[in-house]
Amino acid sequence: MRTTTLGTTDVRVTELSFGAAGIGNLFRPVTDEAAFATVEAAWDVGVRTFDTAPHYGLGLSERRLGTALRDRDRDTYTVSTKVGRLLEPNPEGGRGDDLAHGFAVRDTHRRVWDFSRDGVLHSLEASLDRLGLDRVDIALLHDPDHHAEQALTEAYPALERLRGEGVVKAIGIGVNQCALPARFLRDTDIDVVLLAGRYTLLEQEGLAEVLPEAAARGRSVIVGGVFNSGLLTDPSPGATYDYAPAPLPVIDRALRMKAVTERHGVPLRAAALRFPLGHPAVASVLSGARCPEEVRDSVDQLRRTVPAALWDGLRAEGLLARHVPVPSAAPVEGADRPQEESSG
């Protein structure tokens, strides 16, 4: 699987990254065995970039991911985790669940927002303990939407210092909005933005500021949420969009896209998965999985040839603006994104 260097760092990410929220019991339980088999399947198809966070399953995602990777050569893969939410024991004793936050786990802990310097240090230390690893490669500020000033003045300098000391190799921000990462790209020296749901086949808000800023400054973007919470995998009544029921006009737009892609023999989810890679700032697309079949399907879809005529068809239907960049017809090496074949 092709790899790309993040920004000006030596951190390499595979074209497809593994999102580990699913193995943290996102929305529904996953057994340990299924979680480990899912990571194994990702490894077998060449994925070498794994993204997790303390938020995912109150640490369950980090624990499972670390266990699944523990016997691998640490220099052969990239791990990303996040800071901003500390996990503290729940004084109620974990008698309930965490489904209010989206995870099917016991609420043994509670999340405490903390973008202070000490909060960053404690968060990374706890993450390393849960992962059972000696280091993470990428540290991201996680959803600092309502804590922007503290994230800028306290958390970011702490991450910058850790990068300077070699504790982490790359730093950045992970959000599902555009204004804040654009500000970080302008005002700080972050290496990467993890942008969820804002640069997809369905909507390209990230094209206004985030992606141009990243490209101009030699930084990278990892695109998550490429299916807009599932809508672009199966656009139908009841589908979700941004983790809520999709409005009928949005479903209709997705159905029209599906009709175009299928006329060209391409599933909608394949076009959605490949679309973000048409922009030179995009280093990787992040796709979550909770079972081996989902991993293999993502790789199969990413490897499909998407003909130029498909993108032309979307433009002709008014479903894709003419100025929006699109990938080449086949997944080949690109001059704008230095890549190499991994050993798989």
Chain centroid offset of residue 244 CA:
19
Q: Cα–Cα distance between 202 and 311 in angstroms, integer? A: 13
Exactly one of 56, 77, 156, 199 is catalytic; which is it? 56
CA-nearest of 276, 265, 253, 258 to 309 is: 265
CA-nearest of 322, 314, 328, 329 to 201 is: 314
DSSP string, 192-257: EEEEESSSSSS--GGGTTHHHHHHHHT-EEEEE-TTTTTTTT--STT-EETTEEPPHHHHHHHHHH
Residues 6+ positions from 209 with CB-CB distance below 8 Å: 178, 179, 182
Contact 20, 61 (CB under 8 A): yes
**3-state class of 23 per DSSP?**
helix
Residues 6+ positions from 254 with CB-CB distance below 8 Å: 202, 231, 232, 235, 239, 246, 268
Q: Cα–Cα distance between 130 and 317 in angstroms, integer? A: 49
Q: Cα–Cα distance between 315 and 318 in angstroms, integer? A: 5
Contact 69, 35 (CB under 8 A): no
Assign 3-class secondary structure to 129-175: HHHCCCCCCEEEEECCCCCHHHHHHHHHHHHHHHHHCCCCCEEEEEE
Q: Cα–Cα distance between 90 and 93 in angstroms, integer? A: 6
156 is known as an active-site residue: no
Any idea of the CA torsion for 58, 64, 66, 67, to the nearest 10 degrees? 140
Would you state the structure tokens that stand for residue 107, as one six-digit string? Answer: 């609420």
Tell me the catalytic residues: 56
